[in-house]
Amino acid sequence: MATDTTLLVAKGITKHFPGVLALSNVDFECEKGEVHALMGENGAGKSTLSKIIAGVYPPNEGTISLDGQPVHFQNTKQAIASGISLVSQEFNLLPHLSVSENVFLTDDSYYHQRLSISNRKKMVADSRKLLADFGMEEFIDPYQKVESLSVAQKQIVEIIKAVSTKAKLVILDEPTATLSNKEVSSLFRVIRQLKADGMSFIMVSHRINEVYEISDRITVLRDGRLILLGAKTAELDQNDLIKNMVGREINDLYCCGTYQKQDLTNQPVVMEVRNMTDKRQYVKNVSFDLRKGEILGIAGLVGAGRTELIRCVFGIDPRFSGTVTVMGKTVPPNSIFSSMRHCMGFVPDDRHQVLLQQVSVVKNICLAHHVLSPGLFINKNKEDKQAEEQVKKLYIKIANLDHLVCNLSGGNQQKVLLGKWLMLNPKILFVDEPTRGIDIAAKCEIYSIMKQLAASGISIVMVSSEIPEILGVCDRTLIMRDGQLTANLDIEDTTEEKIGYYATLGTVEEAV
């Protein structure tokens, strides 16, 4: 029931898309000065409800009131003017503009007429202060073009942009999906400061431990319907939360009970990386080996060089020095095709950039195979059969092979991306943040798939910002700091504390 402390009330929200009932008679409330977590599996309707509140979509049915007054937003500009700001999973940044220009893009006070030097200086100074509040002043330059930022850096800019509007309500849709523990701590510190000043937050997240750390109440959606409304976080058991989210219990998230850890010491080395340095000096003189059937984790803070390392090894980013040897054969530098021919695959951290959203599942799965083995004619029957094998192997939930990728959940899209590379029968697979932005049930399926692949002899190098994921899935962990390797640990010797130490204070000498 709404009270004087209630900021937002949504009643009976229903939303139809062609052929899909996204939300059905959903209620939601948010108090002033609270963090309200909105949870559920992919496809539950969380993002749809968030976008309706923020003015992206109009509801087909239902009402919304803000501060006790009914509102009918026709667009996001009206919502922002009323004090509601949305940070969505799909970045809303202009890549050709600088960080500071993006942060204050909707603030008219910086854009009276033609932007003056004094306004630009103030914009940069204010951006630098906001970056300092997040502890990111050393990693992001206000003058830097957004197109040159990593995915994690773009996420931080999006959050800072929302906070800069001094909104009454900020909606954060998977805000920590690309952030390391240090960035998450900085974000939560700022949220607590703003909450104390009366700002409210709706936080959409799949990370249960973070929800319990930062939220005051939890609402759960499942299949577009309200399952649990505004339960106090401190009084809600985690197992009960998971059952409300997925309709069943999820036992052993990392599948440790199903797949026994194998002794890899006698397995052959399939890849040797020696003295790897990239041209931009994000990676500096890194060396490591990878054994057959091993899942090797790479941990560290944003900016440590984790993603840059595997991009350089795979040939996406130019190499300054160093060698890569796969099964005794040297891989030519700076060539994705050479890496593919040497039985390597690469699953990036942003599936939306590499999957063809308006194209069918079968064409996406077969894309890498066509690139590596182009021909004048396509055997559609053979293509369909091969794609169907991947769909079954990866448990991809689709009506048929012609199903458009844009209509799949995040977890199923991630499996399509895996299937695309598995079509090439790789011996080595690089995966960057493999469970970013997917729900807990889909995460469990991805972990199971990765362990099955490792058990079949495929070696995996996994970059992850989630320490429990590193500890639960990997056989060994490399930890990076400032582009250098600071630790190389067997998983039995790895703890959250050790990862934190080597990611922030560890030295190269300690890794030798």
- Are 464 and 479 spatial neighbours (Cβ–Cβ below 8 Å)? no
Rounded distance between C-alpha atoms, residue 44 and residue 133, angstroms:
34
User: So what's the pLDDT on residue 142?
Assistant: 93
Output the furthest CA–CA distance in the chain (Å, rounded). 71
Rounded distance between C-alpha atoms, residue 2 and residue 8, angstroms:
8
User: So what's the pLDDT on residue 55?
Assistant: 94
User: So what's the pLDDT on residue 331?
Assistant: 96
- Are 429 and 461 spatial neighbours (Cβ–Cβ below 8 Å)? yes
**Beta strand spans in 267-349 (E):** 269-278, 286-291, 295-299, 319-326, 329-330, 344-347
Spell out the per-residue pLDDT of the chain, length 512, in tens. Answer: 556 789 999 999 999 987 778 899 999 999 999 999 999 877 789 989 999 999 999 999 999 999 999 999 999 989 988 999 998 877 788 989 999 999 988 777 766 554 444 578 888 999 999 888 877 888 889 999 999 887 778 878 888 888 887 789 999 988 887 777 777 887 888 889 889 989 999 999 888 889 999 999 999 999 899 999 999 999 999 888 988 887 766 566 676 545 556 778 889 999 999 999 999 999 999 999 999 999 999 999 878 999 999 999 999 999 999 999 999 999 999 999 999 999 999 999 888 778 888 888 888 888 877 766 655 455 677 778 888 888 888 888 887 888 888 888 778 888 888 888 888 889 999 999 988 777 777 788 889 889 999 999 999 999 998 888 899 899 999 999 999 999 999 988 898 889 988 988 767 656 65
CA torsion through residues 324, 328, 332, 336, sign = negative
Rounded distance between C-alpha atoms, residue 247 and residue 228, angstroms:
12
The residue written with tokens 């309707």 in the block is 45
Domains of the chain and CATH, by start: 6-246 (3.40.50.300), 261-343+427-512 (3.40.50.300), 354-425 (no CATH)
DSSP state of 100: H
Alpha helices (H) along 215-360:
238-246, 306-314, 336-341, 351-354
Kindly report the CA angle at 51 between 49 and 52, in degrees rounded to 5?
Answer: 65
**According to the 3-state scheme, what is the secondary structure of 101-124?**
HHHCCCCHHHCCCCCCHHHHHHHH
- Are 167 and 365 spatial neighbours (Cβ–Cβ below 8 Å)? no
Q: Which of 461, 443, 510 is nearest to 177 (CA)?
A: 443
